[in-house]
Amino acid sequence: MSLIATDRVVPATDTSATEGRIVWDAPKSLWWFGHLAGTIIAVTVFPQWDGVGVMLLLTALTVCAGHSVGMHRLLIHRTFEAPLWLERALVWLGTLVGMAGPMGMIRAHDMRDWHQRQAECPHHPSHGAGFWRDAWWQMHCRFDLAHPPRFQIEPQIADDPVLRLIERHWMAQQIPLAVILWALGGWAWVFWGISTRIVLSLSGHWAVGHFAHRQGHQGWRIEGLPVQGYNLPGLGLITFGENWHGNHHAFPHSARHGIEPGQLDPGFWFIRALETLGLARAIRLPDSAPPREGLTRVIPLAAPRERLINEP
């Protein structure tokens, strides 16, 4: 069976997208459990509202500006352009989410995307397992292919000295923030602003990915693929637009995820704010690239397509 290649994933003649095994990823798992212990300390030893407020504020900053905009829409998909210093800053904020460094995030994202574009996709990259098993697999394990494809990151990213430094010490990026939090609010702010935030962010990221690949609203589908993306209405504000995953599957090149009326997308609002400040340009929308092969409309549009997906 021939395998589809993507920009960063190039299968070899012996590559298989299905032959592999799920193994416990000790560093990733111990990282999560360590911060779970810190979360328990925050809740039981330091049950204070200022800590909760710091956690919520930093979660919004790192997940919206860092993960959704910096890592996902800019670094991975190049849906807009920004000055190099700003790109590095946003990626650093995304690293603070606690999931991986910039290269690790690109690899995890693109390998999952590659799997989901093949004729057959295993349960791990498709989120096909049950709720608890998928949670364990995604947050504590990895899927090792017996014959993996070649993975190539473009030199613009792979050779960037700042991104390479962040990647090499991605877990240690929490330390400067922890020092600041300790100076301002003591250990309570450290446990709330670091450990509790990381556990909430990682668990929330998995939950959105789990449900957004199983069922929900669909505006479009990609015919011929075993894995579809779904929208999760009502979660736009707390996921910063990442809940519109069905739209993202349809238009992965678009900086805007919430493309239909009423689909709130704070991540895109942030990009528009950067544009107003002269810090973002060449912002791509659904019509900025040809439609994906197999793209099919599921629900009729409530407004003309050109107006709907290109309006500010």
- pLDDT, position 306: 42
| Reduced DSSP (H G I as helix, E B as strand, rest coil) percent helix, strand, coil of the chain, to 5 | 55, 10, 35
> Is 109 inside a domain boundary?
yes
Q: What is the pLDDT of residues 51-86, one digit of tens each?
A: 999 999 999 999 999 999 999 999 999 999 999 999
Nearest to 8, CA basis, from 162, 158, 226: 158
Nearest to 306, CA basis, from 274, 237, 259: 259
> Is 255 inside a domain boundary?
yes
> Is 201 inside a domain boundary?
yes
Evaluate if pTM is beyond 0.75. yes
In sequence order, the β-bridge partners of residue 296 are 221
In sequence order, the β-bridge partners of residue 243 are none
* Structure tokens belonging to residue 102: 């910039």
Handedness of CA 18, 19, 20, 21 (dihedral sign): positive
The pLDDT-based confidence of 305 (bands split at 50, 70, 90) is very low
> Is 36 inside a domain boundary?
yes
* Structure tokens belonging to residue 7: 């920009």
Q: What is the pLDDT of residues 9-67, one digit of tens each?
A: 999 999 999 999 999 999 999 999 999 999 999 999 999 999 999 999 999 999 999 99
The pLDDT-based confidence of 299 (bands split at 50, 70, 90) is confident
Residue 311 has pLDDT above 60, yes or no: no
* Structure tokens belonging to residue 47: 């049950």
Tell me the average pLDDT across 230-257.
Answer: 98
> Is 119 inside a domain boundary?
yes
Sequential DSSP letters for 104-142 = HHHHHHHHHHHHHTSSS--HHHHT-S-HHHHHHHHHHEE
- pLDDT, position 302: 52
CA distance 256 to 248: 8
CA distance 51 to 55: 6
- pLDDT, position 2: 80
Percent of the chain with pLDDT over 90: 95
Q: Which domain holds residue 248?
A: 9-310
How many domains does the structure of the chain reveal? Answer: 1
> Is 29 inside a domain boundary?
yes
In sequence order, the β-bridge partners of residue 20 are 145
Q: Which residues contact 269 (CB under 8 A, 6 or more apart)?
A: none
Q: What is the pLDDT of residues 279-291, one digit of tens each?
A: 999 999 999 999 9
SS3 222: strand
CA distance 230 to 133: 20
> Is 228 inside a domain boundary?
yes
Q: How many CB atoms lie within 10 A of CB 131?
A: 12
Q: What is the pLDDT of residues 145-155, one digit of tens each?
A: 999 999 999 99
CA distance 199 to 204: 8
> Is 2 inside a domain boundary?
no
Mean pLDDT of the chain, nearest integer:
95
SS3 304: coil
The conformational region for residue 301 under phi > 0 = left, psi -120 to 50 = alpha, else beta, is: beta
